[in-house]
Amino acid sequence: MIFSNISSIDPGKGLLEFVCAAGRLSERSDLLFEIVGKASEVNRPFEKRLKETIVRKGLESSIVMRGFIKDIGTYLDGIDVLVLTSTVEEALPTVIIEALAKGKIVIATDVGGVREIVGESYGNVVVPPGDCDALREAIVMVSGYGDEKRALIAKRNREVAKEKFSLRGQVEAMQRIYMEICRK
């Protein structure tokens, strides 16, 4: 299974916690962890530290840094789980919406509006920010999902993306709000 963390390479994105959790699962040859994104000029020292941490812990075979990928939609087709590990507030992380639309399982930290986007009741997981152990446990749980459960999550995530985040859904929601206001 491929667990991918897609974000800017930034200390506030929880990438060290992602590496920590992946490191605690490095004996699992069925799991691959990918980091996708690039660092701004100011965050290049952090990116270097992240790469050095992966090497120092001997995790190069289980954690791959992919760098910047222009076509995230196509990239998402090839992964199993999107992992968002932000430790800072995220108002509306669009990468989660893109992953839902592709039917991918989502593991995300409970920051900002994440909980409003990610439906946990059917298999996605929300964990506390900065908690390596909770993230590792979520990865273990999700990696144990069978084909039937994964298909159910994929179907439901696509439905949620369409209902909540399609242009038509947004327009209909605005119309309902305006109609409600007009009735008052």
Paired with 65 in beta bridges are: 35
pTM over 0.85: yes
pLDDT for the residue 107: 98
pLDDT for the residue 119: 83
Q: How is residue 124 written in tokens? A: 């996605």
Q: How is residue 15 written in tokens? A: 């990438």
Q: How is residue 32 written in tokens? A: 């691959």
pLDDT for the residue 51: 97
For residue 48, report the phi and psi dihedrals to the nearest 5 degrees: -60, -45
Q: Which of 161, 167, 41 is nearest to 94 (CA)?
A: 161
3-state secondary structure of 88: coil
Task: Give the span between the Cα atoms of 135 and 130, in whole angstroms.
Answer: 9
Which parts of the chain sit beneath pLDDT 70?
none
pLDDT for the residue 120: 87
Which residue type sits at 67?
G
Domain ranges of the chain: 2-183
Task: Give the span between the Cα atoms of 97 and 100, in whole angstroms.
Answer: 5
Contacts of 55 (CB under 8 A, 6+ apart): none
Ordered DSSP codes for 96-157: HHHHHHTT-EEEEE--TTHHHHS-TTTT-EEE-TT-HHHHHHHHHHHHT--HHHHHHHHHHH
Tell me, which fold does domain 2-183 have in CATH? Rossmann fold (3.40.50)
